[in-house]
Chain A
Amino acid sequence: MIDVQPAERETPRHADLVDERIVLTYFLIALFYLSLSMVAGLLMALQLIRHNPLDGIELLSPGRWRMVHTNVIAYGFLANAFLGALHWSVPRLMLRPVLDWRLSWFILIAWQVVVLGTGVGIVLGPTLQANVSALESLPFALGAQGLEWGETPVWIDPLALAGLLLVAVNFMAPITKSRGPMYVTAWYFMAAFVWTFLTYAMGNFLPQYSLTGTSAGAVGGLFIHDLVGLFVTPLGWGLMYYFVPVMLKKPMWSHGLSLVGFWGLAFFYPLNGIHHFLYTPIPMFLQYGAIVSTIAVEMVVTTVIVNFFATIWGSSRALITNLPIRWFYTGMVFYGITCFQCALQTTLTFQALIHFSDWVVGHAHLVMFGVFSMWLLGIMTYLFPRIWRTEWWSRELCEWHYWLSAVGLFAMALDLTLAGVFQGYYWASLQPWEVSVEGSQPFWVVRVFAGLAMMAGQVCFFVNLYMTWRLSREAGVSRVVPEPQPQAHLATHGTN
């Protein structure tokens, strides 16, 4: 490693900014949760084709597994992976470390308590409360909260909110200290820290304690969609605006256009959520408002996609040779497809057909795995060997990881989308419910195999990861650890 004295430097050293151990720990924990969520998803898929291996076990009933599947992917995999990527990108982008590394480690532990508490609450909560007399009289449910994507038990919510506040404080410190025009990634991150906190508070507390009926439903709709649009979307796009230029070694095509995308998201996304509740008792002007907002966001999405594809114009060979870039751009293509689906879904005619059907499940998988998980897996593909200072053990396994994940996900999304259309027409024809269930069986069988392909892809990744780690151990490569704070010698200029 090149050793340059601080006095001679204008830019701080990577080692002063990034604690690679915390990045690594977050990524490994995230991958554990990804595996858990996939197993839970597989169990649900087997239940639908009437081959549930855990049939009759109350604690492991499909209803609880399903919530474990969704919550673990959102708060276990995505949140942990995002936090790992943020610990890499924020300090390097702002040329300042996070507020305090001890706080970072505390947040890491606290967040695992939140995720594990959520899992335990969902699985054990209802049974414990029904069988232990001391718990029966509690004024709140130990199990899942009755809010889609917000099933985090109510007793975990305050801790989760405190954790999100600490995350915001820890990462906002380097961002707010910067001077001069900010790069678009910093805008996205800054907004995400505020939005995630507010969205979580709105969704988990307002319907629980102060709102009832349709009003609570409307806020629930906002929460569901804002969780995607104001938590994972700004973090995901922020990371893409950072990693894509870094990997392509060329700047974004238009930074101005990226700012149009950011401010468009800021102003038009928050009202989107009610488009999940078309045809409900929510007043039509509000439903139409959500549709208008969705159209606005479609335009915003177009600006972002145009910008990224204009950036890779002339460097398209990177899509073949550079695996992380391929992960990123595949995710962007899936993002375009999901947004196109959104445009269809928010038309009242189309909504009447696909509401409550597997179309929505396919759409959710396309967003959560096809877009954000793909981006994060691409980031991991880039960062693991950098952190271990060791090449990937096998390029072939990296390729298998990509292809099994991408093809498996695409097959699953296509399959569920078609299933949704079929189910919609079954219901519209007023045939008995069982007919639609029987008609869905072939689609659900395909879904199991598509899911198995995705799982096989992750197995390739884990094997490759383990072998690469062994290589790094044999070579005795040491990771970079930040020096104790405060880093008074860090340069204060040149930040973006």
Chain B
Amino acid sequence: MTIRRARPASQWVMLVMAAAVLVPCLLGFGTKFLEFIALYRGDAEGAFAISPILNYLLASFGFLLLFGWAALGGMFHDVEAPKYTMLENETLLDEDALPRGFIPLKTPASSAARPGRTVTGRKPRF
């Protein structure tokens, strides 16, 4: 199997899209959160929104910690490496998991007979 290294274009797309996700959303959330605090201070009615917001903040804080742990642990140093490792492992695992030449679903062109054959080559009997 030939595995090519990532093209630089994909990294540019990643950076642009990351910015497109992060910047407007942080602005939007920040504004709404400030509104929430203002409302909560001025009007007790706003208090009933605490449950969903608290849920969200707790969950997000957990993921922020996880993100920090991953970044500090070097998980993002070579960000493209895991996709190659995964495929290499899969190839090795399949070497002994399947008989050689086994194709679960042959294409019409490659299929020799209808209905299919077993891996032992025997024709079905019904």
Partner of A283, one of B1, B46, B97: B46
Q: Is B97 touching A480 in the complex (CB atoms < 8 A)?
A: yes
Neighbouring A residues of B49 by C-beta, 8 Å: 215, 218, 282-283, 286
* Interface presence of A15 (CB below 8 A): yes
Neighbouring A residues of B13 by C-beta, 8 Å: 254, 257, 306
Closest chain-B Cβ to A265's Cβ sits at a distance in Å of 10
Q: Is B10 touching A256 in the complex (CB atoms < 8 A)?
A: yes
Q: Is B82 touching A472 in the complex (CB atoms < 8 A)?
A: no
Most chain B CB within a 10 A radius of its CB, from A182, A285, A303, A467:
A285
Closest chain-A Cβ to B97's Cβ sits at a distance in Å of 3
Neighbouring B residues of A251 by C-beta, 8 Å: 3, 83-84, 86-87
Partner of A496, one of B76, B85, B93: B85
* Total number of A residues with any Cβ neighbor in B under 8 Å: 103
* Interface presence of A214 (CB below 8 A): yes
Closest chain-B Cβ to A299's Cβ sits at a distance in Å of 4
Partner of A286, one of B36, B84, B118: B36
User: A269 vs B124: C-alpha distance in the bound complex, in angstroms?
Assistant: 50
User: A204 vs B79: C-alpha distance in the bound complex, in angstroms?
Assistant: 38
**A292-B29, A392-B104 in contact; A11/B83 too (CB < 8 A)?**
no
Question: Which 5 A-B pairs rank lowest in CB-CB distance, beginning with the nearest?
Answer: A14-B97, A292-B28, A254-B10, A475-B118, A391-B116
Give A residues with C-beta under 8 Å from B.
1-4, 10-15, 17, 92-93, 95, 180-185, 191, 194-195, 198, 202, 206, 211, 213-215, 218-219, 222, 242, 245-246, 249-257, 259-260, 263-264, 266-268, 270-271, 273-274, 282-283, 285-286, 288-289, 292-293, 295-296, 299-300, 302-303, 306, 310, 321-324, 381-382, 384-386, 389-396, 398, 467-468, 470-472, 474-477, 480, 494-496
- 14 sample A-B contacts, Cβ–Cβ < 8 Å, listed by A number: A206-B51, A218-B52, A254-B11, A256-B14, A257-B17, A263-B67, A285-B36, A286-B53, A322-B107, A382-B104, A398-B105, A477-B118, A494-B85, A496-B89
Given contacts A260-B18, A285-B36, A391-B116, 8 further A-B contacts (CB under 8 A): A184-B83, A222-B52, A255-B83, A256-B6, A270-B56, A274-B52, A285-B32, A302-B17
